Amino acid sequence: MNETSKPVYNALPLPDRVQLPPEHSLGAARVFRDHMRKRHSVRDYAPTPVSRDVIEACIAAAASAPSGANRQPWHFVAISDPAMKARIRAAAEEEERAFYEGGAGDEWLAALEPIGTGAQKPHLEEAPWLIVVFAQRYGLGPNGQRIKHYYVPESVGIAVGMLIAAIHHAGLVCLEHTPNPMKFLNAACGRPENEKPVMILPVGYPAEHATVPAVAKIKKPLAEVLTVF
């Protein structure tokens, strides 16, 4: 929160209690696990329109994420305007061509080969919505003074994870697109210098012919990613 006055701690009784009885927790966790396992990063979108209300509800869920000192260091730009999507695609593909023509290095390009990605990004126009996520490196007070933000990458990462889960829960698909560098997005979206673009999420329904890379279905087993003491 961009407050300039001295903060005061004020305790509230826990306002929401959504906890399940212990005997129901495992079942609920497994249902959510199985639902999230059906999430896929999709590059092929149907022309089916998506309501602005749905997009706003998903972003509102993301904006409820925890953040360092509750600074909420994020801003989301939702775009459905075809001309603006076309401009973003053109700028992103310019960066991507430099990336794939040697900017990335051989090792990185080899790692991407099984994913099947390239410089062409038609999904940036085909998806009915683009959500551009900005991280606020510092806040701005009413008089333009800088307000320090804490744990910005971690906080924004949590919010993006919640946004992706909300999109999936709404029956939609998205793609985590991170052209590098992404400075063109500040100008395209009219965002200030204190904000850094970190991701573009095309959002919509999957096309009938949608595919995903086979390698994307290969996940590390739980024993490899979990240690229990």
Note whether residue 23 is domain-resident: no
Mean pLDDT by 10 residues, the chain (229 residues): 70 95 96 97 97 98 98 98 97 90 85 90 97 97 93 98 98 92 92 96 98 94 97
* pLDDT at residue 4 in the model: 54
Note whether residue 169 is domain-resident: yes
Residue 80, classed as helix, strand or coil, is: coil
Note whether residue 3 is domain-resident: no
Distance, in Å, from the CA atom of 6 to the CA atom of 66, rounded to the nearest integer, reads 21
Note whether residue 11 is domain-resident: no
Note whether residue 100 is domain-resident: yes
Residue 82, CB-side half-sphere exposure with 13 Å CA sphere: 3
Supply the pTM of this predicted model. 0.94
Tell me which residue range forms the domain holding 157: 51-210
Q: What is the CATH number of the domain that holds 203?
A: 3.40.109.10
Note whether residue 69 is domain-resident: yes
Q: How many domains does the chain have?
A: 1
Element of type H or E holding 92:
helix 82-98
Q: What share of the chain is helix, strand, coil (3-state, %, to 5)?
A: 40, 15, 40
The CA–CA distances, whole Å, from 192 to 67, 68, 138, 170 equal: 21, 21, 11, 31
Note whether residue 32 is domain-resident: no
